[in-house]
Structure 1
Amino acid sequence: MRRDNPPYSERVPVTPATSGPATPRAVHRQILALAIPAFLALVAEPLFLLGDSAIVGHLGTDQLAGLGVASAALLTAANIYVFLAYGTTALVARRLGAGEDSAAIAAGVDGIWLSAVLGAATTMLVTLLAAPICDLFGASAAVADQAITYLRISAFGIPGMLAILAATGVLRGFQDTRTPLIGATAGFGVNLLLNIILVYGAGLGIAGSALGTVIAQTGLAAGLLTVVLRRAHRLGTSLRPHPGRVLAAARFGMPLLVRTLALRAAMLATTWVATELGDVPLAAHQVALTIFGFLAFALDALAIAAQAITGHTLGARDVPGTRAATRLMLWWGWWMGVVLGLLLAASHSVLPVLFTADSDVRRALATALLVMAVGQPVAGLVFVLDGVLIGAGDGTALAWLQVVVLAAYLPVLWVVHLHAGPLRATGATHALAVLWWTFNGFMVFRLVALSLRARTDRWMVTGA
């Protein structure tokens, strides 16, 4: 497969770094230093939504349901732009590894300007289309009214959300995952305080919750941007937008956008099949997906470390160091997956009690968690390989690979769909187990595709 070179890079003859690769112990320390703060920051981000849910839930069922609808739409609108963090991390780390600190921060500034453009456009669309978007969920009129109110106000926080992604990507590229952690923790505290004041003290209801979250997100964005811009000022980097470079950053991010959309399509298709298995499997599946998403935070922290380390070593033209670091990160991914799988298996009968009182849902969920536990080591390898290739700027190949994996997965999922009736007859537990074994197959497909790519040298583009 032919690979387009990333912007700001050029292909050069691959030669070993003169200083040699870092020692394994040093790389282990580097992985931990990056991954632990990244994990804590990733876990802190969902606390915005949890805080909103806890406060809005006391207003009434309609308000809480409306928050659920609006949040689903809002997170979808923002999460498709995750390439702002991933792509920026790769670009900044590569130039930093090449010793071009000023150029590294300039690439980050381009990403921030791109986030501003995308944020403004997305805010306008979500604000204008809030009612049709909420209607797509088929909620009652009372719930839809609450959702529309929340979504229209929260849309003004989208520029801040995207700026946070871009600024976080810059800091990760500089191998700084502590600043985003501090920012996320402070942002959650401010969000919680503002929501209590605005929802109950000012009596604004769900509108107060949305306004508090917008203020907290915008404040967090301002704080992270201040850190990035101060670094740019110290390095003498211009903060003016350069349309050509911003467009180049957008082109670099497009393959990662395609990859993300293909991943989302696989998740949505799996949920669609779950709806045909019955209400009990669907309810258990939704909780299982929530737990899978939480476990993914730990694995994504390793992927973030992989992005930063790979970009840096390739920028320094240290191919042996890149290979050695990749092997060590895969070791971490495998054993992290094993540990998470064992913890999940040990708690598979306890976790369902925390989420539901329905005994049928509990049984189905417990079985799904056991199947999920088996797949965690594979997931660990997948996340790390994904991070390595993103850090290498191998976005075009990642997009194609994910589309191919999706094309291979959908026919398998279609077979489950065709047998939905017989599966329902076997009981909710068996039906959901089949669906999650199928999803484990999707992760195996991803592992095979990513491994085949990683075994080649095509992604090993060195230099700035």
Structure 2
Amino acid sequence: MVEPKRADAGAREVVRLAAPALLVLAAEPLYLLVDTAVVGHLGAVPLAGLAVGAVLLAQTAAQLTFLSYGTTARAARLYGAGRRADAIVEGVQSTWLALGIGVLLVLVGQLVAGPVARAIGGGPGPVADAAIAWLRVALCGAPLVLVTLAGNGWMRGLQDTARPLRYVLAGNGLSAVLCPLLVYGPGPLPAWGLVGSAVANVAGQVVASVLFGAALLRERVPLAPVPALLRAQLGMGRDLVLRSLGFQACFLSAAAVASRFGAPAVAAHQVVLQLWNFQALVLDSLAIAAQSLVGATLGAGGGDRARELARRVTRYGLVLGCFFGVLFGALAWVLPRVFTNDPAVLAAIPVPWWFFVLLQPIAGVVFALDGVLLGAGDAGFLRTWTLLAAGLGFLPLIWASLAFGWGLAGIWTGLAMFMLIRLASVAARTHSGAWAVLGAVRH
């Protein structure tokens, strides 16, 4: 039996896990930034179509992050208790769930892509048509995305963030190379426009999912579905899905309201939102390390070590968030032009941009503490307070922005309220210590 590494190691162990996780988390939004930059030079309508289609697909995947985060929490506790094979079996079960749910998403998504894209995109028109064309192709990669989520989950539970890095970079690297070739069609290649970006996306997802599947086969653990484990994963997944619904309702509403203010507004929102998603996941790299280490520490019976780790990760998140706030503040007059040269879009970007900058320190702490609580399996608490933050902070201001014409300023004020409520809740919960339940399984 392979003994787990000590989960109470210091900063070096956090960095060992966080550094590859940082690159894994950054790979997908970085590819989306490349995609946004490539499509942005086609004009405001294709960029707005990508904004609508991408937010629908991203929120669908975000709704199912329990395949990653829930698997990590369960696998890490077993790994910390010295039960490595059982931890990998959790990955087998989450992969079965990924395949089943992914196929269902493809079938249902093709049926509802048109009506949903038109609803989010402001009704029938060129923006909705562009979003539908992109979405129908991109949906074909849904099972592959979910298999990758499950693969990241069980490997992180084993405190292995190096292999996921190699697999994700291989897939996204291929997508980044194919995207401009398929969109612009240089030389004899056909120019597929916006649809070319979706094809490139799916091609990269094929590569990554095959690599994760092959890694699971090499572990030589039983591959049959285990109904009891599937039910247990779905039980934890219920809370994480409800939590994700809070995010989904907020960001879909934001895209819908932004689209009512015209193509330049929704395109500007898309550019800054993609940067927000990128930074949220970059800051979350510490949370991935915390999740793996906290779960393993609690599985091994180390409550005091887990609480010290929570304090340490909070400090790291604050410092990293402050750093990125200063960095993106300095790039305010340069970076937006990488994504678009449309004068109307550039004129609309500064309003959401400064909200994005000022929220970085808050996001650094919130995402780090999310990782601590997820590692402890405290999904019920996170579910409740995410929904409260959405219902009391983000959603009222989004729809008030539409009613009173506040535009992007109102939408991003809602995001700020959402983050502040979450900050207060996770800080109080972490300080209480009620999350630090010991044992290989959280009861």
Relative to the length of structure 1, the TM-score reads 0.81
The match for 2:71 is 88
Say which is worse superposed, 72-81 or 388-397, in terms of deviation: 72-81
Letter in 1 for 2:361: P
The match for 2:385 is 401
- 1:218: Cα distance to partner? 1.9
- 1:367: Cα distance to partner? 5.3
After TM superposition, list the pairs within 5 Å mapping 1:365-404 onto structure 2.
365-366=349-350, 368-404=352-388
After TM superposition, list the pairs within 5 Å mapping 1:30-179 onto structure 2.
30-49=13-32, 69-136=52-119, 137-138=121-122, 147-179=131-163
Instruction: Identify if the C-alpha distance between structure 1 residues 410 and 440 changes in structure 2 by more than 3 Å, giving closer, same or farther.
Output: closer
Instruction: Identify if the C-alpha distance between structure 1 residues 138 and 268 changes in structure 2 by more than 3 Å, giving closer, same or farther.
Output: closer
Q: Is the 8 A contact 2:393 2:418 kept in 1?
A: yes
- 1:297: Cα distance to partner? 2.3
Q: Distance in 1 between matches of 2:299 and 2:64?
A: 25
Letter in 2 for 1:164: T
Q: Is the 8 A contact 1:35 1:301 kept in 2?
A: yes
The match for 1:295 is 279
Letter in 1 for 2:192: G
Q: Distance in 2 between matches of 1:313 and 1:251?
A: 23
- 1:53: Cα distance to partner? 5.8
Q: Distance in 1 between matches of 2:340 and 2:160?
A: 39
Higher Cα Rg, which structure? 1
- Say which SS state the counterpart of residue 438 (structure 2) adopts: coil
- 1:178: Cα distance to partner? 1.7
Say which is worse superposed, 60-69 or 183-192, in terms of deviation: 60-69
- Say which SS state the counterpart of residue 99 (structure 1) adopts: coil
- 1:186: Cα distance to partner? 1.2
The match for 2:432 is 456
Q: Is the 8 A contact 1:41 1:180 kept in 2?
A: yes
- 1:336: Cα distance to partner? 0.7
Letter in 1 for 2:113: A
Q: Does 1:227 align with 2:215?
A: yes
Instruction: Identify if the C-alpha distance between structure 1 residues 152 and 367 changes in structure 2 by more than 3 Å, giving closer, same or farther.
Output: closer
- Say which SS state the counterpart of residue 359 (structure 2) adopts: helix
Letter in 2 for 1:216: G
Q: Is the 8 A contact 1:51 1:192 kept in 2?
A: yes
- Any idea what the Cα deviations from partners look like across 1:331-388, whole Å, max 9, x if unmatched? 1011111111221222333334445567786566445434433332221111011111
User: Aligned to 1:205, which of 192, 195, 201?
Assistant: 192
Q: Is the 8 A contact 2:290 2:310 kept in 1?
A: yes
Instruction: Identify if the C-alpha distance between structure 1 residues 375 and 163 changes in structure 2 by more than 3 Å, giving closer, same or farther.
Output: same
Instruction: Identify if the C-alpha distance between structure 1 residues 204 and 299 changes in structure 2 by more than 3 Å, giving closer, same or farther.
Output: same
Structure 2 residue runs without a partner (length 5+) = none
Say which is worse superposed, 82-91 or 408-417, in terms of deviation: 408-417
- Say which SS state the counterpart of residue 241 (structure 1) adopts: coil
- 1:292: Cα distance to partner? 1.9
Q: Distance in 1 between matches of 2:359 and 2:42?
A: 40
Q: Distance in 2 between matches of 1:380 and 1:225?
A: 32
Letter in 2 for 1:111: S
Structure 1 residue runs without a partner (length 5+) = 1-18
Q: Distance in 1 between matches of 2:379 and 2:348?
A: 38
Q: Is the 8 A contact 1:114 1:249 kept in 2?
A: no
User: Aligned to 1:239, which of 223, 230, 249?
Assistant: 223
Relative to the length of structure 2, the TM-score reads 0.84
Q: Does 1:214 align with 2:222?
A: no
Identity of aligned residues (%): 38
- 1:301: Cα distance to partner? 1.0
- Any idea what the Cα deviations from partners look like across 1:178-207, whole Å, max 9, x if unmatched? 212211221123335556777756748366
Q: Distance in 2 between matches of 1:286 and 1:64?
A: 8
After TM superposition, list the pairs within 5 Å mapping 1:432-447 onto structure 2.
432=409, 436-447=412-423
Q: Distance in 2 between matches of 1:330 and 1:280?
A: 37
Letter in 2 for 1:459: W
Say which is worse superposed, 238-247 or 136-145, in terms of deviation: 136-145
Instruction: Identify if the C-alpha distance between structure 1 residues 64 and 457 changes in structure 2 by more than 3 Å, giving closer, same or farther.
Output: closer
Q: Does 1:332 align with 2:316?
A: yes
Q: Is the 8 A contact 2:141 2:206 kept in 1?
A: yes
Q: Is the 8 A contact 1:270 1:439 kept in 2?
A: no
Letter in 2 for 1:78: A
Instruction: Identify if the C-alpha distance between structure 1 residues 299 and 261 changes in structure 2 by more than 3 Å, giving closer, same or farther.
Output: same
Q: Distance in 1 between matches of 2:99 and 2:66?
A: 14
Instruction: Identify if the C-alpha distance between structure 1 residues 318 and 296 changes in structure 2 by more than 3 Å, giving closer, same or farther.
Output: same
- 1:104: Cα distance to partner? 0.7
Instruction: Identify if the C-alpha distance between structure 1 residues 407 and 193 changes in structure 2 by more than 3 Å, giving closer, same or farther.
Output: closer
The match for 1:12 is none
Q: Does 1:266 align with 2:266?
A: no
- Any idea what the Cα deviations from partners look like across 1:69-121, whole Å, max 9, x if unmatched? 44343333322111211111111111101111111111111111111111111
Letter in 1 for 2:74: L
Instruction: Identify if the C-alpha distance between structure 1 residues 139 and 189 changes in structure 2 by more than 3 Å, giving closer, same or farther.
Output: farther
Q: Is the 8 A contact 1:21 1:320 kept in 2?
A: no
Letter in 1 for 2:110: T
The match for 1:8 is none
The match for 1:13 is none
- 1:397: Cα distance to partner? 1.4
Q: Is the 8 A contact 2:7 2:294 kept in 1?
A: no
Q: Distance in 2 between matches of 1:357 and 1:208?
A: 21
Letter in 2 for 1:253: G
Letter in 1 for 2:437: V
Q: Distance in 1 between matches of 2:54 and 2:258?
A: 21
- Say which SS state the counterpart of residue 190 (structure 1) adopts: helix
- 1:152: Cα distance to partner? 3.3
| CA RMSD after TM alignment | 3.5
Q: Distance in 2 between matches of 1:347 and 1:54?
A: 16
